[in-house]
């Protein structure tokens, strides 16, 4: 079962995703929490946000901070996994490939999509939703919005369920199909 959880900044999407994966597992079953992107140690406010997220997770979950989400998903396709979030992954990927100045992230996106499509356990992916605000004023901002919008659409096509979280409230965008092979 693959679920994409979308929402704006501070919408409650991460908390909802954590609760959703917890309720889909056996009691005490471990979860791998993938945190994409490099840690930002010189930003106290960001460090506090990360600490709040860590504090909500059960102690038996493992946390992996990695920029290579596709590799990790491919290496551990049987471990229930929560990826939070694809926006951070995309930012780090765009940095690595100089995509802000015309480089391409397509190979990395394809690798991620392949890993998501081949994942054999419960997978919950969190991503910021684009289009809930004004069009970015900068070229790099527009490029990020375009890339994230495309990524979200492609990941959603691979998922069994898509949920939009607004003000902490989930709205099912793509319901689980009870007759699909993934839901049986």
Residues with a catalytic annotation lie at 53
Cβ-contact 15, 167 below 8 angstroms: no
Whether residue 104 is annotated as binding a ligand: the answer is no
Whether residue 168 is annotated as binding a ligand: the answer is no
* Distance, CA of 27 to CA of 149 (rounded, Å): 35
* Distance, CA of 117 to CA of 33 (rounded, Å): 18
Whether residue 9 is annotated as binding a ligand: the answer is yes
Whether residue 106 is annotated as binding a ligand: the answer is no
CA angle 18, 24, 28 (to 5 degrees): 80
Cβ-contact 152, 167 below 8 angstroms: no
Crossing angle between the packed helical segments 106-117 and 86-96, to the nearest 10 degrees:
140
Q: What is the 3-state secondary structure (H, E, C) of 78-106?
A: CCCEEEECHHHHHHHHHHHCCHHHCCCCH
Whether residue 84 is annotated as binding a ligand: the answer is yes
Whether residue 10 is annotated as binding a ligand: the answer is yes
Whether residue 176 is annotated as binding a ligand: the answer is no
Whether residue 13 is annotated as binding a ligand: the answer is yes
Beta strands in the chain (DSSP E): 2-7, 32-36, 62-66, 81-84, 123-128, 161-166, 169-174
Whether residue 14 is annotated as binding a ligand: the answer is yes
Whether residue 128 is annotated as binding a ligand: the answer is no
Whether residue 57 is annotated as binding a ligand: the answer is yes
| Tokens 């999509």, residue located | 113
Point out the annotated binding site for GTP: 7-14, 35-37, 54-57, 65, 84
Binding residues: 7-14, 35-37, 54-57, 65, 84
């Amino acid at each position: 079962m693959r679920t994409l959880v979308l929402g704006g900044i501070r919408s409650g999407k991460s908390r909802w995703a954590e609760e959703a994966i917890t309720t889909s597992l056996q009691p005490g079953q471990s979860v791998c929490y993938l945190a994409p992107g490099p840690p930002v140690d010189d930003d106290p406010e960001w460090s506090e946000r990360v600490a709040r997220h860590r504090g909500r997770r059960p102690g038996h979950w493992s946390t992996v901070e990695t920029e290579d989400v596709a590799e990790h998903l491919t290496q551990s396709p049987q471990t229930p996994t929560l990826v939070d979030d694809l926006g951070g992954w995309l930012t780090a990927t765009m940095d690595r490939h100089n995509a802000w100045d015309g480089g391409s992230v397509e190979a990395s996106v394809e690798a991620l999509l392949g890993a998501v499509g081949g994942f054999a356990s419960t997978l919950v992916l969190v991503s910021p939703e684009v289009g809930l605000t004004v069009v970015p004023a900068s070229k790099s901002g527009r490029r990020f919005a375009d890339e994230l919008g495309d990524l979200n659409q492609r990941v959603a096509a691979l998922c069994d369920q898509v949920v939009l979280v607004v003000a902490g409230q989930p709205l099912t965008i793509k319901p689980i199909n009870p007759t699909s092979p993934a839901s049986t």
